[in-house]
Structure 1
């Protein structure tokens, strides 16, 4: 346990500006420093650093913290890693929690000595005679000299004992424990990496903790890529390749790109895109997603355009769904079929890659498209299967609000796909075919009686009554929003029966031409038509359908919004601060909801009234100016 006194001593011993200026250019401003903020893009400096006060602050985005906060937020380090790095600079010993933990830390530190020594040896080999063909391979890939040095390329010779000889200062057990050698039963240990182009894998502090090796020529039965095994230093499920370099860059770009392999990361860096990381031989894990979310709110997952890339995207999505929380999600980019990032950059240039990243898709959109296209959907059973798969994904989301919103959005997409609007072959933009109205659709006596019964009664809410009347005029809108309307009807005992009957009536009409549902079946008198333009005779039918769709949207939103408000109010006893914030957010949404309702009910009607005027537009405008 680190005491507050010890942490204060650490902060006092480290000069904040000297730490920050390693990655951010500071300018002296009196007794303080200033710079353009590294946490958001700006042209005029609003970021200040005060060594006397021991904190930094941005007057633009509000970023604020001390030297430890800088290491965790800007460098992306874990708290204890930040403390240890600063303590080493300050010449302070970090209090050890217990002897066992201290012994493990010492062991890990000694293993880092092994991997760091191996890295230096690999680099020497690359620039020697033995590594000539590895150097030729790098040149053939077009990697710049700066990139080769920055990423630490090296070469492991084709020998089972060369590394052991080069690292003879370390005992054999340390070479095995660090993953540099393989020990099998009673045989002598031998080098793990042989005749491979080598890349160091580093932790968030930049220390070499493992390696990746790529073969230079294809050989049967030999894996193209080989990574170090899990060791006391290296846990591949908790490590992201290149995070220590990409983290500071992402603070400037507000973007983090995740590609499939480390060679993809290097290809992007070679093209000037330096905020990319990669998992290490596994699907993206929950811990890796959390690491990414510490950097940005919505990292971009970039996958190859083949089937394997699509499956990798879905594995990442299914891992992320239970973890989603407000403000934290994923963006997805799919490369053209048969291409990886290097191929795309070489064939179409860095601008093509940048453009693709700009057009990333949301997690929800990718989930919908994957499941929709997963199989041919020809029968009702096929479509029902699609709906079941979508809802199964939704049910894994732990956050209640996000789960509800995903359910609603995916069901709306499913409804639009499974129940597409029928062609209005009897209608054109100028009116009914031939300039005449066809006879309204005839219903069976049973359905007409049920609709008449469901629609009768006392006073109605204006919006719900207007929607019911509108659905009778435009049954095609009812069919287009059948799923959402059915869900709403189940929760509204007053207007639900009328909406259900209207949907049933719409489904029974002649599919060759959607006509109004017969007006002689006893539906209640519609609301004031001046407040709902889609109920007015002579109003453009296409505009009326658009307005009615908006009214349906408002109608089905209201119960969800009211339920969320009730839930937030109920939380006041257990979480007053969180409940208040949520209530304020929801009240703001409710005000926006009422504004949308008012705009639809008044502005649309005003537009309809204007369109009924016999005056030409210019004369109508003049008349309005005189009235003003």
Structure 2
């Protein structure tokens, strides 16, 4: 079963994390937070914090962080669906009706997600192989050291026409599935599909929960037609419904001290997001597209007043975005302009 963000937000709005987590962890109040011993490690000094205002827990001893759903998944080894069903019952929120077609779509989506995750792992490994030497040098020149590559799951796609395709088919994938994920291109004139990303540094694109839904690639060849290439619209990836870096930005916001309220900043591209997040600033990007209505709603679900910080040589907000912002201001929603 698939749950939309509004349904999940409704559950979270009715349950205090300290109440849910307090059934498993003995918590005591400390200022605006609750503290207790980590349920994930053996410790004698409490380093596990719960913040009801942010709706998050953070465990300094294990590095785990998340909301009440991810807590149940980690602490009780529940699946995502099992955790949501339990919390929905506790919150008194009825589950959405099961749609057979939606269930079948979710089954297909799950299968595609598994190939996307396997592709991400392959790209990561390729970055560290001999073929990724120039890509590694580029990242180093951009001030992005190896110790940070894993955090952002950076990878590399070699120049071979079917390198990724061959690897995934050997793992059991069908070409049609890989075309549907956007990893392969099926020629319009017919012929065998081939890898979409070739000779590019790879930036995995995750959804709000960190699940890989697509990829972006930065060309290593300065003569490439497109310096940056994003995956196409697919059944699991809709550009207007995603913000690059959102999952990591949520972690940064959740880890902030209770008396601090970091901004949620919207920047231009992948490297801008990574630079901000390495500096402890929660940032996201719209992946080359103008901010749309759904993306604005996502921003406001995570921050009361997001900050727009675009390059100086670009119009801060196109006409349609200015109209959207004006409409939202009438309902008390605002964005800050960092220009």
The alignment's TM-score, normalised by the length of structure 1, stands at: 0.41
Give the 3-state SS of the residue equivalent to 1:265 in structure 2. helix
Aligned 8 A contact 1:313 1:332 in 2: no
**Cα separation, 1, equivalents of 2:206 and 2:23:** 20
Give 1:324 deviation, angstroms.
2.5
| SS in structure 2 at match of 1:213 | strand
Query: Per the alignment, in what secondary structure is the counterpart of residue 106 of structure 2?
Result: helix
2:322 matched residue in structure 1? 317
Task: Kindly state the Cα deviation for residue 273 of structure 1 after the two structures are TM-superposed.
Answer: 3.3
Residue 119 of structure 1 deviates from its aligned partner by 0.5
**Residues 115 and 210 of structure 1 are in contact (CA less than 8 Å); yes or no, is this contact kept in structure 2?**
yes
1:134-533 alignment runs, 5 A limit: 134-168=135-169, 169-185=172-188, 186-219=190-223, 222-251=225-254, 252=256, 253-270=261-278, 272-306=279-313, 309-310=314-315, 312=317, 315-334=320-339
Question: Which secondary structure state, in structure 1, belongs to the residue aligned with residue 233 of structure 2?
Answer: coil
TM-aligned CA deviation for residue 190 of structure 1 = 0.8
Partner-residue secondary structure (3-state), 1:310: coil
Residues 16 and 49 in structure 1, CA contact (< 8 A), matched pair in contact too: no
Deviation of the 1:189 alpha carbon: 0.6
What RMSD in Å do the two structures reach over aligned CA positions? 3.5
Deviation, structure 1 residue 235: 0.5
SS at match of 1:135: helix
Deviation at 1:17, TM superposition (A): 2.8
Residue 46 of structure 2 corresponds to: none
Unpaired stretches in structure 2, ≥5 consecutive residues: 4-10, 37-49, 58-65, 72-78, 88-94
Is the Cα–Cα contact under 8 Å of residues 153 and 200 in structure 1 kept in the other structure?
Answer: yes
Measured in 2, the distance between the counterparts of 1:145 and 1:19 equals 40
Task: Give the count of matched residue pairs.
Answer: 282
Is the contact made by 1:301 and 1:313 (CA closer than 8 Å) also made in structure 2?
Answer: no
Correspondence for 2:45 = none
Q: Using structure 2 for the length normalisation, give the TM-score.
A: 0.73
Q: Distance in 2 between matches of 1:89 and 1:162?
A: 43
1:2-17 to 2 correspondences below 5 Å: 16-17=20-21
In 1, distance between residues paired with 2:265 and 2:213?
22
Separation (CA, whole Å) in 2 of partners of 1:240 and 1:255: 16
**Aligned partner of residue 101 in structure 2, secondary structure:** helix
Structure 1's 47 and 327: CA in aligned 2 closer, same or farther, altered over 3 A? farther
Q: 2 CA distance for matches of 1:243 and 1:216?
A: 26
**Higher Rg of the two aligned structures:** 1
Aligned residue number for residue 27 of structure 2: 32
Aligned residue for 1:303, secondary structure, equals coil
How far apart are the structure 2 equivalents of 1:288 and 1:135?
Answer: 32
The reply on whether 1:84 has 2:81 as its aligned counterpart is yes
**How far has the Cα of 1:64 moved from its partner?**
7.8
Query: CA offset at residue 166 of structure 1?
Result: 0.7
Query: CA–CA distance in 2 between the matches of 1:19 and 1:195?
Result: 51
Deviation of 1:46 after TM superposition, in Å, equals 2.8
1:41-80 matches, within 5 Å, as 45-48=31-34, 70-71=67-68
Between the aligned partners of 1:19 and 1:146, the Cα distance in structure 2 is 37
Q: 1:162 to 1:48 in 2, by over 3 A?
A: same
Residue 84 of structure 1 and its aligned partner are, at CA, apart by: 2.8
Distance verdict in 2 for CA 1:254–1:85, change over 3 Å? farther
The Cα of 1:313 is off from its aligned counterpart by 5.6
CA distance in 2, matches of 1:188, 1:65: 47
> Cα distance, 1:49 vs. partner?
7.7
Question: In the alignment, is the contact (CA less than 8 A) between 2:263 and 2:281 conserved in 1?
Answer: no
Check whether the contact 1:17–1:49 (CA below 8 A) recurs between aligned residues: no
**Could you list the per-position Cα deviations for residues 299-344 of structure 1 after superposition, in whole angstroms to 9, with x for gaps in the alignment?**
10001111xx12546553233212224441011122xxxxxxxxxx
Structure 2 SS opposite 1:146: helix
The 3 A distance-change label for structure 1 pair 101 and 172 is same
* C-alpha spacing 1:212/1:65, structure 2 compared with 1 (3 Å): closer
Tell me the CA shift for residue 218 of structure 1. Answer: 1.1
1:390-445 per-position Cα deviation (integer Å, ceiling 9, x unaligned): xxxxxxxxxxxxxxxxxxxxxxxxxxxxxxxxxxxxxxxxxxxxxxxxxxxxxxxx
Structure 1 SS opposite 2:177: helix
C-alpha distance in 1 between matches for 2:211 and 2:109: 11
**CA shift digits 1:37-69 (9 cap, x unpaired):** xxxxxxxx233489xxxxx785xx6x7899xx9
